[in-house]
Structure 1
Amino acid sequence: MENKVLATVDGREIKQSDIYSLIQSLGERGALFNNPQGQKQLLDEIIAQELLYSEAIEKDFESEESFITVLNEMKKSLLIQYAAKKLMASVSVTDEEVEEFFNDNISMFSQAKTVSASHILVDSEEEANKILEEINNSLDFAQAAHKYSSCPSKEKGGALGEFSQGQMVPEFDEAVFSMQPGEISKPVKTQFGYHIIKVDQVNEAKIPSFEEVKDEAKNQCLMYKQQQVYLKKQEELKEKYPVTINN
């Protein structure tokens, strides 16, 4: 694609590639500007910035003490970030190290028991019992949820999706994690009202094999090793450069 010159400000060219670079730098927000109107807005903004730059050069702002102070602060910050990035980039892990890390920290990769469930929420126990009776007399649970539940999940037949222990209020949590797949509870009272709960699926806790979580284990191992390298570097630098902490 031709890198077209879109505008010239004080002899400096603004090219199509400058627009694309700015869109990329905006991350997810960049998609909002990836159209003719959005690119025109970005071009106008780049032109405005270039005009300010020209005036700053003309007025010799870069010689002002306050600018030099800000520039030095930015330089220091960038140098620190650059040094840290170089240090982290020097760290790598072997397959053997990753597997050893997995075995030493296996609980980190264990998958907790989860449940997929649906519910019907109503205001009174009496109402809940009437609905439960209809369900026991062959009314489909999802249809009952859509018809009677006051929870927004009614639009999905009462489905709450998959969740682990501790994510729901205690009374609901205790009931649902003691149930079996396909089981429908008696009314359960919580601060929100009365729930009829149906367990759709139970996924028991498991410890995955190394191969199942190898990529995750590698990332965790690398981060751990980088942290150790960073801490070691700190101690080395404390020996090299004087540090005084005033109490």
Structure 2
Amino acid sequence: MSEKILAVAAGHEITEQELNNLIRNYPPEQQIYMSDPRAKQQVLDQLIAFHLFYKMAVEEGITESQEYQELVAKVKVELASHMAATSVVESIQVTEAEEKEYYEKHMEQFQEKAQVRARHILVDTRQQAESVSQELEQGLDFAEAAEKYSTCPSREKGGDLGYFTRGQMVPEFEKAAFEGEIGKLIGPVETQFGCHLILVEDKKEGSVKPFDQVQEQIHQQVIQTRQQAAYDEKVKELEAAYGVERKQGVID
């Protein structure tokens, strides 16, 4: 069965297979749009232009020029080198057992820090903080109080700071938040920014991410490490086999 011919440009028959091969070279996110006939037509137009310019290059002697021949020679060297290097690393595989072994030996890499989610109200003085605290104890909603009194930009979100880990807040604030009880008003807590009233809404204990969540990450890390090691070892072998002389003082 003959291939479907989509166009003939400067005597070259552009087949559906040639078009599909070009599309496969596109990034995956672009390939999604290639099911649209208009997108495929645009790629076909690019192919047509490609062959038309090649014909022009031949007729104008560009393909016989020294510049062209030098570029072709350079591309040949780069392509052959790339293919040889790829052949060294492409067969390297990592088993699931090896991935699990790496996981068990390097669990500290997959540690999730303890987190706290809190709201706060920031005011300038302890007296102001105590006054707001009294209103909260009398039933004023914490988020409403934050919008009304806080000087922190988080006031726009009712004082919500979201989740944070140790090291993200000033020490005094961090200590109060991590040691405080969920749902219980904390403060006033004085820091370099002023006085805070804190309401802890949730806590997440530190934990290690499950293996299935990090397996792909481990796979990539281990295989890249092994590929680099194989590449480096092969370079040493090739240096011994073919010889390398590094000139001193050439690079400034």
**TM-score, scaled relative to structure 2:** 0.67
Cα deviation 1:81-139 (Å, max 9, x = unaligned):
3333332221123344333323332322222223334445x674579736555444333
Q: CA deviation at 1:14?
A: 7.0
2:246 is matched with 245
2:113 is matched with 112
Q: Which amino acid aligns with 2:204?
A: N
For structure 1, the 5+ residue unaligned runs are none
For structure 2, the 5+ residue unaligned runs are none
Q: Which amino acid aligns with 2:142?
A: F
Q: Secondary structure at the match of 2:55?
A: helix
Structure 1 CA distance for aligned equivalents of residues 184 and 14 of structure 2: 70
2:153 is matched with 151
Q: Which amino acid aligns with 1:25?
A: Y
Q: CA deviation at 1:215?
A: 4.7
> What is the number of residues matched between the two proteins?
242
Distance 1:116 1:73, change over 3 A: farther
Structure 2 CA distance for aligned equivalents of residues 87 and 46 of structure 1: 34
Q: Which amino acid aligns with 1:151?
A: P
Q: Secondary structure at the match of 1:116?
A: strand
Q: CA deviation at 1:208?
A: 4.9
The alignment status of 1:229 with 2:211, answered yes or no, reads no
Distance 1:5 1:106, change over 3 A: same
Distance 1:16 1:244, change over 3 A: closer
2:58 is matched with 57
Q: Which amino acid aligns with 1:10?
A: A
8 Å contact 2:124–2:195 — kept in the other structure? yes
Cα deviation 1:11-33 (Å, max 9, x = unaligned):
44375983895497145466688
Q: CA deviation at 1:239?
A: 1.7
Q: CA deviation at 1:168?
A: 5.1
1:80 is matched with 81
Structure 2 CA distance for aligned equivalents of residues 118 and 187 of structure 1: 13
Distance 1:168 1:18, change over 3 A: farther
Structure 2 CA distance for aligned equivalents of residues 78 and 160 of structure 1: 53
Distance 1:217 1:22, change over 3 A: closer
8 Å contact 1:180–1:202 — kept in the other structure? no
Q: CA deviation at 1:245?
A: 1.8
Structure 2 CA distance for aligned equivalents of residues 194 and 31 of structure 1: 54
Q: Secondary structure at the match of 1:162?
A: strand
1:10 is matched with 10
Structure 2 CA distance for aligned equivalents of residues 127 and 30 of structure 1: 63
Q: CA deviation at 1:180?
A: 4.3
Q: CA deviation at 1:64?
A: 1.7
Structure 2 CA distance for aligned equivalents of residues 38 and 228 of structure 1: 42
Q: Which amino acid aligns with 1:205?
A: G
User: Which of the two has higher C-alpha Rg?
Assistant: 2
Q: Which amino acid aligns with 1:154?
A: E
Q: Secondary structure at the match of 1:25?
A: coil
Range that drifts further, 39-48 or 92-101: 39-48
Cα deviation 1:38-93 (Å, max 9, x = unaligned):
66655555544443233223223222221222233333333333333332221123
Distance 1:18 1:212, change over 3 A: closer
**TM-score, scaled relative to structure 1:** 0.68
Q: Secondary structure at the match of 1:85?
A: helix
Q: Secondary structure at the match of 2:14?
A: strand
| C-alpha RMSD over aligned residues | 4.3
